[in-house]
Structure 1
Amino acid sequence: MKIKNSIGAALLLAAWALPSHAQIGEQRQNFAVGFNGGININSVSFSPTVRQKSLMGINGGLTARYISEKYFSMICGAQVELNFSQHGWSEFDEDHPELEYIRKMNYVEIPLLAHLAFGRDRGVQFFVHAGPQIGFFISDTRKKNDAWNNYTSTPEQHDKNVENKFDYGITGGAGLELRTKAGNFLVEGRYYYALSDFYKSTKKDYFSRSAHGTIVAKITYLFDLKK
């Protein structure tokens, strides 16, 4: 009986909150599309550990955004992107600085982001993005210098192909948007944390963890299709 009362109270609260929200929120139907481009600063979380330094890659593609309402001073909406993105790692061992190995991994990625902004409709806005991201591995390139010829053994990760091509994780960041009559210009920084491993990670496998971690800096241009 207590459970039923709790559910009933929750439904009544929701029924009260929805019209109140509709009254306070200023409804918007702003749909914008455009393109984005930037750089990734990559590393990979390996277990066992692989010594490495940051690897730079490119990131760019298409962006679509829908603004649904302004709630007090907060502008609420959603954003989706379709990007080509380079991940991977660059190995560096202080004990053997002559050795070089670079793996660049190419993905098609789809971030699904909540968009929360503060500021004027025309002028500068501060915004926050957060949400899930999925990716699909399409290809990779490997660079290995001749110094490795002096070693009889090859590290496990060098000749190992990607085994899990579907990548997923969470991403979030913040930035500034300049809204003008000529369009909207965004500058943003994000961090992507992969929850998936690109190598198999069962008990019989060598790596128990092989996941991307990426700092993203990008610029986006959007133009309004519907205001």
Structure 2
Amino acid sequence: MKLKTIIGTALLASACTLPAYAQVGEQRHNFAVGINGGINLNSVSFSPSVKQKNLMGINGGVTARYISEKYFSMICGAQIEVNFSQHGWDEYYQDYPTISYTRTMNYIDIPFLAHLAFGKDRGLQFFIHAGPQIGFLLSDSEKIDGNWEEVIANGANIVTEQHGKPIDNKFDYGITGGAGIELRTKAGNFLVEGRYYYALSDFYNSTKKDYFSRSAHGIITAKITYLFDLKK
């Protein structure tokens, strides 16, 4: 756990210091704020493994972005978001279609992103986002259907340790990144983006005495963002 904490802290520090390095190239002071919304396709990396399919959830919140400079053809800046985001997993057993289990976990996620873009000041741009992300668990719920006891009694090799198990660690951290396109107009800036989040933390305890040695989120996100400039 110490190594994961060090990595997470280093990534967070690097994102927070991005503006300090924006001293080369054509200086800009463009500050924009807005809203974002989209969907998550969630899964969890378990060890021992748990069979599952993607669980769909919502993702949305507020965005703030600062563009500090244009270095040759690359536009450089930093972006922060505060989002309500649904994580979790949906267990799926092809040989046992009568049973199902879903755990939905509601988080406040805060990604700290480097923003690198290429394109025109007015018109279409291509951008890349990357940086650390932290999250705070608000609540979770589970839904279980079918006669699991009967299926297991008949010899099914299924992991059920996670069923009904409380979440041990409510603080989540990891790295996220993605790419998209932005249309910059007089009416505002419209962004369409795909992003992936890889958790470095486990939400269940993972010491030698615990059942799971790994329980971490993996999330594919598709979102739309609208930003309007406060300062150009």
Identity over the aligned pairs, expressed in percent?
76
SS at match of 2:147: helix
Contact 2:173–2:200 under 8 Å retained in 1: yes
Moved more, 53-62 or 149-158: 149-158
In 2, Cα distance between equivalents of 1:96 and 1:81: 41
1:211 to 210, 216, 219: 216
The one-letter amino acid paired with 1:128 is: I
The alpha carbon displacement at 1:201 in A equals: 0.1
1:190 to 171, 183, 195: 195
Please name the residue that 1:160 is paired with.
165
SS at match of 2:148: helix
In 1, Cα distance between equivalents of 2:23 and 2:143: 59
The alpha carbon displacement at 1:94 in A equals: 1.8
Q: Deviations over 1:91-114 (max 9, x none)?
A: 011221211101010000000000
Contact 2:22–2:69 under 8 Å retained in 1: no
1:173 to 178, 188, 191: 178
SS at match of 1:199: coil
Please name the residue that 2:47 is paired with.
47
Aligned length: 207
In 1, Cα distance between equivalents of 2:151 and 2:73: 62
TM-score, scaled relative to structure 1 = 0.88
Please name the residue that 1:129 is paired with.
129
Moved more, 30-39 or 140-149: 140-149
Instruction: Determine which structure has more spread, i.e. the larger CA radius of gyration.
Output: 1
> Where does the alignment leave 5 or more consecutive residues of structure 1 unmatched?
1-20
Task: Give matches, 1:1-40, under 5 Å.
Answer: 25-40=25-40
Counterparts in 2 of 1:28 and 1:102: CA distance versus 1, 3 Å: same
TM-score, scaled relative to structure 2 = 0.86
> Where does the alignment leave 5 or more consecutive residues of structure 2 unmatched?
1-20, 154-158
Contact 2:41–2:55 under 8 Å retained in 1: yes
In 1, Cα distance between equivalents of 2:22 and 2:201: 39
The one-letter amino acid paired with 2:64 is: A
In 2, Cα distance between equivalents of 1:105 and 1:23: 41
In 2, Cα distance between equivalents of 1:68 and 1:178: 19
Contact 1:24–1:72 under 8 Å retained in 2: no
Please name the residue that 1:100 is paired with.
100
1:116 paired to 2:111: no
Please name the residue that 2:139 is paired with.
139
Moved more, 165-174 or 138-147: 138-147
The alpha carbon displacement at 1:147 in A equals: 2.8
Moved over 2 A (4+): 21-24, 146-154
In 1, Cα distance between equivalents of 2:133 and 2:152: 40
Contact 2:98–2:146 under 8 Å retained in 1: no
